[in-house]
Amino acid sequence: MSAPVIPLAPEASASKPRRRWRGLIWILLALVATAGIWLVWFSSVFAIRDVRVIGVTGSPAASVLASAAVPLGLPLAQLDADAATARIMMLPWVGAVEVRKGWPNSVILAVEPRVAVATQVGTGRGVDAGGVAFDSPVPLAKNLPTIEADGVGLVAAVTVWQSLPSTLLSKVIGVTASTRDDVVLELKSGAKVRWGSAGQGDLKAQVLAALLQRRAEVYDVSAPELPTTQQEKAGNPR
């Protein structure tokens, strides 16, 4: 006597085609993803064809291009932007740079050059607002003040220079410092101002304005509460 045949439930019969379709869909998705990865990472469709520099022109721009060493024909996705940035930052006059991927085929090198606010005595280098001395790829602006300092003294000198009010700034032609606490201003008149550290800048400027009513060779406002002058002379104030 044969065993009775038990028919499959409708749900069980329908699940087999659904499983097949799901499998096919996953295969198609995997193929599409693989093709997309190949297209972006390995094909020439998104290869680098153009590298541009913004922020500088002329020979400085050429130096940036050479330092970046971005290979044409490389898939854009494979570009190591951090490595290109590090190479460009080795140029001493570059203050900041951003390497941008301009899809589909461009690389943009956005450069921010250092701006000289003074020149460093003995080297002819420019000095930027952060107290960094650098070799400029272009001629420096004329009539920049001179700073005779290095290291922390250079930073202190630049900090003091930038804090001076315009009325006093117009009288200063140079700054010297060997430490952060012994900044000295050189005036157009030939007199010197012992400024000291960069602290209490506003008070020192006010005290110095009053002292300049006297004709002296040295004005000391390093301790603004106890200012002094040296080698005072008769005559009109400086």
The answer to whether residue 8 sits within a structural domain is: no
Mean pLDDT of all residues in 192-221? 95
Mean pLDDT of all residues in 144-168? 94
Query: Is residue 211 located within the same domain as residue 173?
Result: yes
pLDDT of residue 39: 52
Query: Is residue 200 located within the same domain as residue 153?
Result: yes
Query: For residue 7, is pLDDT > 70?
Result: no
Domain with 72, as residue range(s), is: 50-113
Domain finish residue from 59, 87, 113: 113
Query: What's the number of domains the chain is made of?
Result: 3
The residues facing 53 across adjacent strands are 109
Query: Is residue 20 located within the same domain as residue 82?
Result: no
pLDDT in tens, 37-53: 655 566 778 899 999 99
pLDDT in tens, 160-178: 999 999 999 999 999 999 9
Q: Report the alpha-carbon angle 39-40-42, nearest 5.
A: 70
Query: Is residue 55 located within the same domain as residue 36?
Result: no
**Cα(129)–Cα(202) distance, integer angstroms:** 19
What band does 33 get if pLDDT is binned at 50, 70 and 90?
low
Domain finish residue from 113, 142, 160: 113
Query: Is residue 191 located within the same domain as residue 109?
Result: no
Query: Is residue 137 located within the same domain as residue 223?
Result: yes
Query: Is residue 201 located within the same domain as residue 108?
Result: no
pTM: 0.76
Q: Provide, rounded to the nearest whole percent, the portion of the chain with pLDDT above 90.
A: 76
The answer to whether residue 1 sits within a structural domain is: no
